[in-house]
Amino acid sequence: MSLEYAILGFLTLAPMSGYDLKTRHFDGSVAYFWPANQAQIYRTLDRLEGDGLVAGQWEVQTQRPNRKTYHITPEGLAALKAWLAKSRPLPKERIPFLVQLYFARHLTQDELLTLLARQRQQHMDRLTEYQEIELPAADDLIMARQLIFGKFAHDYGLRYEQMQIEWLDAVITQVKTMTP
């Protein structure tokens, strides 16, 4: 469901092909919290076009294969705005690591500390990855406003990883004091 609205949102920036959506946005700006593969993007674009929320236009190219570029329609913009204004319930998350931790009594203290250290390292690696993201400069008012909200999402990722590391540090400290 959110993929449709992510595509509509990106098409408010400029008309794009499915390839442009994938390489400029789904492999970059939202890849950390809403990944999508090329097939999903094209299937969703077809559905959005069938629903009248986007319109596609074929571009004839001489040096490359022809491509279809999509733009958001007024109906698509109205649907996007309605979706943006609606509250969403919190999703139920599936976190395999927490299932491992829940039943960790079956591990030795060393095995558990190794598991926790690996999990902590993964969050450290992700935090470093987020810290290395360079947000682009805005070249117009629309992008300047978009970047404000992009920075909010980036800040969420940074804080989430920092919180995970702090929590894991607390768990590790407690496990080290447990009697094996």
pLDDT given at position 31: 85
Contact yes or no for 147/136 (Cβ under 8 A):
yes
Token reading at 156 = 């969420």
**pLDDT band at residue 169 under the 50/70/90 scheme:** very high
Give pLDDT tens digits for 106-137: 999 999 999 999 999 999 999 999 999 888 88
Query: Which DSSP helix (H) or strand (E) runs through 157?
Result: helix 141-177
pLDDT given at position 10: 94
Residue 88 C-alpha from the chain's centroid: 16
Amino acid of residue 56: G
Residue 108 C-alpha from the chain's centroid: 36
Token reading at 131 = 């810290």
pLDDT given at position 60: 86
Instruction: Report whether pLDDT(12) > 80.
Output: yes
Q: Average pLDDT in the 19-25 region? A: 92
User: Reduced to 3 states, what is the DSSP secondary structure of residue 42?
Assistant: helix
Average of per-residue pLDDT values in the chain: 93
Give pLDDT tens digits for 62-87: 888 889 999 999 999 999 999 999 99
User: Which residue in 125, 128, 106, 104 sits closest to 116, CA to CA?
Assistant: 104
The sign of the dihedral angle between the CA atoms of 66, 5, 81, 133 is negative
The pTM score is 0.83
pLDDT given at position 179: 83
